[in-house]
Chain A
Amino acid sequence: MSTRNREVVFLIPALVLTTLGFALVYTQKASTLTWTSLTYGGLFLALFLIAHVGCRFLAPKSDPYLLPITALLSTLGIVLIYRINEDLALKQAMWLVVGLAAFLVALALLRNLSVLYRLRYVLGGLGILLLLVTVAVGREINGAKLWVDLGPISFQPGELAKVLLVVFFAAYLVDMREVLTVSTHRVVGVPLPPFRYLAPLLGIWAFSMALMIFMKDLGTSLLFFGALLALLYVATGRFFYVLVGLVLFAAGAVLLYFVFPHVQVRVNVWLDPWRDVSGRGYQIVQSLFALAAGGLFGRGLGQGYLIMPSGNTIIPNLPTDFIFSAVGEELGLAGAVGIVLLYLIFTYRGLRVAVQTRSDFSRLLSTGLTTILALQAFLIMGGVIKLIPLTGITLPFVSYGGSSIVANFILLALLLRASGEEA
C-alpha cells in the first residue's frame, strides 16, 4: 500500500471514533440524537481529508502515521472541550481550521527545509523577539506571563517561538557541530572545545533561566532547555554535554527554588498536596480524585464529574492544562494510556523521520521538533498525575488553546516536510 493510502486508512477510523464520541456527548447534553452531532463529525472528517489530499500533492512521500495521530488527538480534544464548554469547543474548532490552513500553507511554501536553514538568524531573532514582546507587554494568567492581547484575540507568542527557536538551535548546531566535537584543551581531564564556541550555548542556558525569571514559566523554559540538550547530544554524540547541561539546569533550578516563592510553592504542592487540600493543593488533589474516579475503564464520555453545580469546572484550568485529567476520569486508565501511546508512536515516527533524513539540518530539526512535542506532552501529563511538579503548559493538539494548536500544526508540517524531503 502506498504511504498516502496508508494515511487515509488510519485517518478515517480515527475520525469515525471521535465522531461517535461527539455523538455520545451530544446526546447526553440534548438527550436526543440529531443530525447536528454527526454533522460536526463529518466536518472534522472533511477538514482532515482536505489536509490529507494536501499532503498527497505537497508531500506525497511523507510519513503516513503522523497526520492520523494528530487528527485523533485534536478531535478527541474538541470532543472533551465540547463536553466541558460548548462555546470553547466552537472557538477551538475554528482554531483547528486555522491550524490546518497554516499546516497546508507551511507545506506549500516550504518545498525544501534548507530555506529555514538560510533564514536561521532571522527566525531565531523572531523567536526571541516574540518572547521579549511577551515579557514586555504580556498579561499574567495563573501566575505565568504568557499572554499577549491583540485586539479581540489574545495569544501565546511562546508557542510559536518554541518552533522558531528549535529551527534556530538546529541550524546553529549544524554550523557548530564540527568545532564542538573538536577539543582543543582539557579541563580536569575532560576534553573541551574552545570557549568561544561554547559561549552561545551558555547563552541559551542563561536565556532559559531568564525565561523562568521573567515569564515565571517553568514549563516553556524546561522545553527550550530540554530541546537544546537533546540536539546538542544528537549533534555531537557526546553525553558529556548533556551532563554539563543537566548540572547547569539543576544549579539554576535550585537557585530559583530559593529565590522565587512561586517555584517553592509548585514543588511543595507536588511533594505534599494533602497538606492544603482546599487551598494550594486543591487543583492537583482534584485531578487525582478525577483520575481515581475514572478507574480502569472510565465513567464514560459525559458521565464524569467535571462541572460543579455552580457551572465552574471542579478542576481549575480543566480545558487547558488539566485536560488529561478529564481523559483519565471519563475514559479511564485505558483511555489515558491510549493517549500516552499515541504520543509515544508520534515520538517514534518523528525520530524515525529524523534518522531517515538526508541533511544534517533536517535531521536535527526533526529531532528537535519531536523532542519539544514529546517533552511537552510528558511534562503536562506527568504534572497532572503528580509524577513531576506541575508546569502550566498545554497538552499538544488536545488542550484548548489557539496558539498551541496553530504552532503544533506548523510543527507537524515541518516534520512531514522533513520526512518527504527529496535528496
Chain B
Amino acid sequence: MDKPIRRLFLLFALLFVALVVQLTYVQVWAAADLNTHPANTRAIEAEMRVERGAILSADGGKLAVSKKEGEYYLREYPQGDLVSPWLGYNSLRYGRAGVERVYNPELSGQTGLLSLTSYWDKILGRTHQGADLVLTVNLRVQRAAAEALGERKGAVVALDPRTGAVLAMVSYPRYDPNRLEKTWADLNSDENRPLLNRPSQGLYPPGSVFKIVVAAAALETGVVTPDTEFEDTGSVTAGGFVVNNYGGRVYGKHDFSDAFASSINTTFAKVGVKVGAESLAAYASAFGFGRECPWPLGGAASLFPAPGDLDKAHVAQVSYGQGEVLATPLEMALVAAAVANGGTIMKPYLVSKVLSPSGGVLEETSPAVWARPISPDTANTLRELMVAVVNRGTGTRAALAGVQVAGKTGTAEVASGEPHAWFVGFAPAEAPQVAVAVLVENGGAGGTTAAPIARQVLAAALGL
C-alpha cells in the first residue's frame, strides 16, 4: 500500500511543480507583455492617484476636470457630449482617447519639470498634480456650431486661417463621456459610430468643394482665367463618360467665374481634362491630399488617386470632386484656409498653452506653416471666385449682413441616399479671421443645407 501512496505524492508534487512553472511564466516571463496589454488598466489606476490637469477652453470654459473621491481623482466632463469625439475620455476600464490620450503625459504631469516634482511628491507623500491644458477651442463658437448642425450626422470645423488655431470642431452623433462605462457596448456596436471624430476621421467624397483645388490648378497652370469663356449644353462626354450638371441644368454661354459660382460640372470636367491628371494630382498633394493628417490628435489622410490610375473619364469625374477623391472635413477647412491666408496653410492646432499647477506657462504653441500650395495672386483670384459664390451663386445662404463671406458649396453624390451637403468658406473675405468647413451626411444640396450652418458658425466666430 505504501508504493501507491508514494506515487500519489509524486503526482501531486508534479502538479505543484506545474503550478510553479506556470506562475513563473505569468509573473516573470510574460509579465512585460501583460503589463503593457491594452486592456490592462493598472497604469491608468496609478495615474488616477495623480490630480490630473484640467482641460480648459480658450474662453475659460471647463472641458475636463478632476474631482477627488476617496483616494482617487475621478474625471468629470462638464460639457457632456459637446466636445467628446475629440476630447476623448480617461477611463479606468476602457483606456484613453482623444486629447486625454495624446496629451496624457502633460495631463498626468510626466513631462519635463513636472516629472521631477512627481519624484518629490512621491517622497513627501503629496498628491502629484498634472498640467492644465488651455485649448484654442472657443466654447461659444463650439456651442453655436453644435446647435447649427443639430441632430444631423455630420461635421463642422472652424479655424483661424492666420494661425491654424481650431476654434470649433463638432461631430454628430456624439457620446457623453461621463456615462462611458454604462454605454460602452452600445457605443461600439452603434452603426452611426458616435465614437468617431468625423471632422478628422471621416472620409467623404468632397463633391464640388473640391473645385477650389481644381480651379487653383487651372489658374496657376494658366489653363484658365476668371474670364475664360465656356459654352454649356447640359452635358459633356469625356473618355466615353457623360458628365451632367447637378439637377440637369443647362447654363449656355458663361465664363469661368460663373462656372465656379454656379458650380457647373461640365465646365469643370473640360477644365480638369485640360489641366491633366499630373497637375491635378500635384495640386491635390500640395493642398494636403495624400499627406499625413496634420491634426495633433491624428486622423485620416485625405485621398487623391495616383495620376497613372486616372484615364480621361476619371479625370473628368475628380474635377468636380466625385470618383476616387475622398476628403476629411478638416482637410477641406484647410483648403479654404489656404485661400483665406494668401496661399499658405498653417498647421492646425488645438492646445495653445500648457500651464503648471501653479499657473505658470510651461509650453506655448507658436503657429507654424504646414503647406504653401498656391501663390498669393492665385489665392486672391480664388477669393474673388468664392465671394461670387456667396453673392450671386450657389452659396447665397451663407451670406452675412455687414460682413463679406467667401465660400464654395458641394453636393457630393453617394452610393445610396441623399447626397452629402458641403460648404467651405471664410470671412471677412478681405481680411479673413475664420475659415469653416461644414459637412452634413446625406443632407442634400450644399447650398440649402450646409451654407446656413456655415453662416451661423461664421457669425458666432466673428462675434456677430
Chain A positions within 8 Å of B, measured between CB atoms, are 230, 233-235, 237, 277-278, 285, 288-289, 291-296, 305, 308-309, 314, 328, 332-333, 336-337, 340-341, 343-344, 347-348, 351, 354-355, 360, 363, 367, 371, 374-375, 378, 381-382, 385-387
Cα of A347 to Cα of B8 in the assembled complex, Å: 10
Taken together as a complex, chains A and B put the C-alpha atoms of A29 and B13 apart, in Å, by 38
Contacts of A367 in B (CB 8 A): 5, 8
A277 to B30, CA, bound (A): 17
The minimal Cβ–Cβ distance linking B93 to chain A, given in whole angstroms, is 7
A296, B6: Cα distance in complex, Å: 32
A295 vs B20: C-alpha distance when bound (angstroms): 13
Q: Are B12 and A291 in contact (CB under 8 A)?
A: no
Please count the residue pairs between chain A and chain B whose beta carbons lie under 8 angstroms apart in the complex.
Answer: 119
Known: A333-B23, A347-B9. 17 other contacts (CB 8 A): A230-B8, A278-B93, A288-B26, A291-B27, A292-B26, A292-B30, A295-B27, A296-B27, A314-B41, A328-B23, A328-B27, A333-B24, A340-B16, A340-B20, A347-B13, A355-B6, A387-B19
Q: Does B190 count as interface, using CB distance less than 8 angstroms?
A: no
CB distance from B122 to the nearest CB of A (A): 13
Contact with B4, one of A233, A341, A374 (Cβ below 8 angstroms): A233
Q: From the candidates A309, A314, A382, name the one contacting B70 in the complex (CB within 8 A).
A: A309
* B22 lies within 8 A of A386 (CB): yes
Q: Does A288 contact B92, Cβ atoms closer than 8 Å?
A: no
B51-91, CB < 8 A from A = 69-70, 72, 74
Pair B27/A333 contact, Cβ less than 8 Å: yes
- Distance between B99 CB and nearest chain A CB, rounded to angstroms: 21
Given contacts A289-B34, A292-B34, A363-B1, contact A382 B19 (CB under 8 A): yes
Q: Are B19 and A348 in touch, CB under 8 angstroms?
A: no
Is B16 a contact partner of A344 (Cβ separation < 8 A)?
yes
B72 near A293 (CB under 8 angstroms)? no
Report which of A234, A375, A382 forms a contact with B5, defined as CB distance below 8 A: A234
Closest to B34 in A: A292
B431 within 8 A of partner (CB): no
**B107 interface residue, CB < 8 Å from A?**
no
Flag if B74 contacts A295 (CB, 8 Å): no
Q: Chain B contacts of A363 at CB under 8 A? A: 1, 5
Minimum Cβ distance to chain A for residue B212 (Å): 45
A233 to B6 Cα, complex, angstroms: 11
Q: Which 3 pairs between the two chains have the least Cβ-Cβ distance?
A: A292-B34, A292-B31, A277-B39
Cβ of B15 and Cβ of A295 under 8 Å apart?
Answer: no
Task: Offer 14 A-B interface pairs, CB within 8 angstroms, sorted by A.
Answer: A230-B8, A234-B8, A277-B39, A292-B40, A305-B46, A314-B41, A332-B27, A333-B24, A344-B16, A347-B16, A354-B5, A367-B5, A382-B15, A382-B19
Is the pair A378, B19 in contact by a Cβ cutoff of 8 Å? yes
CB distance from B253 to the nearest CB of A (A): 65
Chain A hits for B24, CB < 8 A: 333
B48 to chain A, nearest CB (A): 7
Residues of A within 8 A of B23 (CB): 291, 328, 333, 336-337, 340, 385
Interface size of B as a range: 35 or more
| Residues of A close to B184: CB separation below 8 A | 278
Alpha-carbon separation in the docked complex, A333 to B30 (Å): 13
Chain B residues, Cβ within 8 Å of A344: 12-13, 16
Residues of the B chain whose Cβ atoms lie less than 8 Å from the Cβ of A387: 18-19, 22
Within 8 A of A (CB), among B345-364: none
A309: which of B12, B46, B92 is its contact (CB, 8 Å)?
B92
Min CB distance B174 to A, Å, is 22
Inside 8 A of A278's CB, which chain B residues have their CB? Answer: 39, 93-94, 184
Taking the nearest CB of chain B, how far is it from the CB of A318, in angstroms?
15
How many angstroms between the C-alpha atoms of A294 and B23 in the bound complex? 11
By the criterion CB–CB under 8 Å, are A295 and B39 in contact?
no
- In the assembled complex, how far is the CB of residue A388 from the closest CB belonging to chain B, in whole angstroms? 9
Once bound together, how far apart are the Cα atoms of A343 and B9, in whole Å? 12
Q: CB distance A378 to B2 under 8 Å?
A: no
Contact between B31 and A385 (Cβ–Cβ < 8 Å)? no
The answer to whether B22 touches A234 (Cβ under 8 A) is no
Determine the residue in chain B with the shortest Cβ distance to A381.
B19
Smallest CB–CB gap between B43 and chain A, Å? 10
A226–chain B nearest beta-carbon distance, Å: 10
* In the bound complex, CA of A344 to CA of B7 (Å): 14
Residues of A within 8 A of B45 (CB): 305, 308
**B42 at interface, CB cutoff 8 A:** yes
State which residues 411-445 of B face A: CB under 8 Å: none
Q: How far is the CA of A293 from the CA of B32 in the complex (A)?
A: 9
Q: Which of A235, A292, A341, A385 has the most CB of B within 10 A?
A: A292
- Enumerate chain B residues within 8 angstroms of A355, measured Cβ to Cβ: 2, 5-6
B3, B15, B19, B40: the one contacting A385 at CB < 8 Å is: B19
> Do A289 and B42 have beta carbons less than 8 Å apart?
yes
- Are B48 and A351 in contact, with the CB atoms below 8 A? no
Question: Contacts of A314 on B, CB cut-off 8 Å?
Answer: 41
Q: With A289-B37, A292-B26 known to touch, is A378 a contact of B1 (CB < 8 Å)?
A: no
Give complex CA distance A151, B42 in Å.
40
A263 to nearest B CB, angstroms?
A: 22
Report the minimum CB–CB distance from A176 to chain B (whole Å).
15
- A292 CA to B23 CA in the complex, in Å? 9
Q: Say which residue of B7, B26, B46 sits within 8 Å of A291 (CB atoms).
A: B26
Proximity bits, B210-234, A CB within 8 Å = 1, else 0: 0000000000000000000000000
* A359, B28: Cα distance in complex, Å: 46
Contacts of A237 in B (CB 8 A): 1, 3-4
Q: Tell yes or no: B35 within 8 A of A by CB.
A: yes
Q: Which residues of A contact B39 (CB under 8 A)?
A: 277-278, 285, 289
Closest to B46 in A: A305
A316 to chain B, nearest CB (A): 13
**A278-B93, A336-B23, A340-B20 as given contacts; A378 in contact with B37, CB under 8 Å:** no
- Cα distance A305–B35 in the bound complex, in angstroms: 13
Tell me whether A305 and B8 are in contact in the complex, defined as CB-CB below 8 angstroms, given that A381-B19, A386-B22 are known contacts: no
B48 neighbours in A (Cβ, 8 Å):
309
Q: What residue of chain A has the Cβ atom nearest to residue B7's Cβ?
A: A233
- The residue that B16 contacts in the complex, of A230, A289, A343, A351, with Cβ under 8 A, is A343
Residues of A within 8 A of B42 (CB): 289, 293, 305
Q: Among B9, B18, B19, B30, which residue has its beta carbon within 8 angstroms of that of A351?
A: B9
Measured between alpha carbons, how far is A367 from B1 in the docked complex, in Å? 11
Q: Which of A292, A308, A328, A375 contacts B35 (CB 8 A)?
A: A292
Q: Which residues of A contact B72 (CB under 8 A)?
A: 309
Contacts of A277 in B (CB 8 A): 39
Q: Are B12 and A385 in contact (CB under 8 A)?
A: no
A295 contact set on B, CB distance < 8 A: 27-28, 31
Which of B12, B24, B92 has the largest count of A CB atoms less than 10 A from its CB? B12
Contact status A351-B1, CB under 8 Å:
no
Q: Closest B-chain residue to A379, C-beta based?
A: B15
Q: How far is the CB of B45 from chain A (nearest CB, A)?
A: 5
B138 vs chain A, min Cβ distance (A): 33
Q: Which residue of A lies closest to B188 (CB)?
A: A278
Bound CA–CA A26/B16 (angstroms): 32
